[in-house]
Amino acid sequence: MEARKLQQVGATFLLSVPKHWVEEQGLKKGSMIIVHERVDGMLIIDPGLVEEPLKLRSVITNPSNLGRNILAGYLAGNDVIEVNLGNEMTPVLKREIKRMSQFLVGVEIMEEDASTMTLQCLIPRSIDSRTYLRRTYGIAAKMHEDAIRAFIRNDQELAQDVINRDREVDRLYFLVVRQLRKAIASPTGDLMLSPLNLLDYRLVAKEVEAIADGCASIAEQVITEGYVVPPRPFARVLTEISQQVLLAHREAITAVIKQDNNRARRVIALQEKISRLVVEITEVLAKQDTSVLPVFDRVIHNLERIFESSIDIADLVI
């Protein structure tokens, strides 16, 4: 790294670039270069106009942990994932490859023969990962509301719907992680977010996925053996805890998007009120039949975990 002095000729500001860099890039007088301005104020000089970026490609030749390896290739930002198993390719493995292509957003099977299947990711490079992060959170927040409603009303159909939506959250989560990792790896990957913002959004995506997992776990209690409709005193306090936790992660997400420090501090301030409500519901729980305690206790525990994720999101702003 070296410091260079900004020059001014008339109303124009000029900055010289290193001679060796010009020669290494094959540039000369009159060559066109691209200057990217990032949101954090940094300028990036791109030495060439690239009409079509090179496609990243990975090849899988080992059938072990096939689904996990396809997911790893997807998250690494590969545009093409070739699964070439030779004589080890079987109908079972082909079904696993097709299952992963249906699970991962934007992935299609482009070529197939007896020993090889080629997957291609058709997601545009210009996709805004923040839009999909907001979409992912929107699903998770609705899961929260519906999971508690299903638990209090013994609505098994709604509970199953919440559980099914967790798969959609997982699909969007992996898409968001893929796009954020590509942006972090490329200095021009997302000019609207600084590198620090990109890292923060990666952490937020993980916490949103954890919130959805907690909601699915609450919904699972409705279809678990030993479930009973919660008595009114328990349902009343549970509803109040749920409303405070829902408020916490809604405010936390907004705080990150708007970089609102005061809003993030309000999320953390909810900790005292939620702790009091947990003590209150524990006292109510102590008066219930011991056979229902495990199910009710798991619901409370999941709400506490969801609130912890809200705190972790808010902490990124403070």
Question: Residue 84: which of 116, 49, 45, 44 has the closest Cα?
Answer: 116
Place of tokens 């998770």: 140
Q: Are strands 116-121 and 80-84 parallel, antiparallel or unpaired?
A: antiparallel
Output DSSP code: residue 291: G
One-letter-per-residue 3-state SS of 175-244: HHHHHHHHHHHCCCCCCCCCHHHHHHHHHHHHHHHHHHHHHHHHHHHHCCCCCCCCCHHHHHHHHHHHHH
Amino acid identity, position 168: E
Q: Can you list the domains of the chain with their CATH numbers?
A: 7-46 (no CATH), 57-121 (3.30.110), 129-315 (1.20.58.220)
pLDDT at 53: 56
Query: What is the C-alpha radius of gyration for the chain, rounded to an integer number of angstroms?
Result: 25
3-state class (DSSP) for residue 271: helix
Per-residue pLDDT tens listing for the chain (318 residues) = 677 778 777 777 777 778 777 777 777 777 777 776 666 667 777 776 554 556 789 999 999 999 999 999 999 999 999 999 999 999 999 999 999 999 999 999 999 999 999 999 998 866 777 889 999 999 999 999 999 999 999 999 999 999 999 999 999 999 999 989 888 876 555 546 677 888 899 999 999 999 999 999 999 999 988 889 999 999 999 999 999 999 999 999 999 999 999 999 999 999 999 999 999 999 998 887 777 788 999 999 999 999 999 999 999 998
Backbone torsions φ then ψ of 272, nearest 5 degrees: -65, -45
Q: What is the pLDDT of residue 31?
A: 75
Alpha-carbon gap, residue 150 to 229, rounded angstroms: 10
Global pTM value: 0.83
pLDDT for res 51: 47
pLDDT of residue 106: 95
pLDDT the model gives residue 95: 97
